[in-house]
Amino acid sequence: MIEKRLFGRTGHWSTATLFGGAALYKASEAEADRTLEILLQYGINHIDTANSYGDAEKRIGPWMDHHRDAFFLATKTEERAYRGAMEHLHRSLDLLHTDQLDLWQMHVLVEPDEWEVAMGPDGALEAFVEAKEEGLVRFLGVTGHGVQAPRMHLRSLERYDFDAVLLPYNYVMMQNPQYAADFEKLMSVCKERNVAVQTIKSISRGPWDDNPQTRNTWYEPLEDQAEIDRAVHWALSRPGVFLNTAADIELLPRVLDAASRFESRPSEEAMAHQVEALEITPLFV
């Protein structure tokens, strides 16, 4: 089984590895049902999806009819204005077959102009606060991709006391001195305020570039179990973080298998050798 960690100030003991709902982007109902069985097998109790993840919410909804109490349920919106965000929220609630979300997140909020809209008059933040006051959501968060994510999350936390953040975290990303410094600043603030930190792209090998895309992930992932083990164990060895699984249902069992066997952090030598041997490159520069 996979260890549980306290998810920030929410009081929920989430499995250290969270299910990334993007894996169900194009999944059939049968594929989604098989995925649920895998989650139950490993004791996963936290689902993170988004309104923009294709059919994901639609596929997760029927699970909630019978398993709502078994999962901390989170979703996201990329709408930046009040009205659009509210429309997305009610759509998500309908698709997910629930009357309350555990966590609602502003998705990929990393561009300054979009940030100003979301945090300004009639922006998404007003919808978020209202939804929490009305009991439609319990907690609020913000997510981001790219090297600017930790800096923008710090800015968001200055504007509002969010309960959770989500951003990239893997060995090669943390070799970028500026990103590493920004990530550490964010971690310090999150630790002080008891904000949950979710991480993504743990098994990224780099952009697809000219290689044919053979996975549902928009980046080329690690494939070999030993390679995935090192990447997953490296990420999980950081106290206070959660690892979101990759957006591919075929890779899901490998990631969960790795997480279930986590004991310690791989050596610096092992990680550096893997980067060199596989020619791993940063997904974001």
What's the pLDDT score for residue 113? 98
| pLDDT for res 285 | 87
Q: What pLDDT shows up at residue 212?
A: 86
Give the span between the Cα atoms of 124 and 27, in whole angstroms. Answer: 29
What tens digit of pLDDT does each residue of 142-170 get?
999 999 999 999 999 999 999 999 999 99
Average pLDDT for consecutive 10-residue bins of the chain (285 residues)?
96 98 96 97 98 97 97 98 98 98 98 98 98 98 98 98 98 98 98 98 93 89 97 97 97 98 97 97 92
DSSP code, position 123: B
Q: Which residues are CB-contacts of 23 (< 8 A; sequence separation ≥ 6)?
A: 35, 56, 216, 245, 246, 247, 248, 249, 252
Domains of the chain: 4-278 (3.20.20.100)
Task: Give the end-to-end CA distance of the chain in Å, rounded to a whole number.
Answer: 35
Tokens of 280: 């791993």
From CA 171, how far away is CA 58, in angstroms rounded?
34
SS3 78: coil
Q: How far apart are CA 72 and CA 87, in angstroms?
A: 22
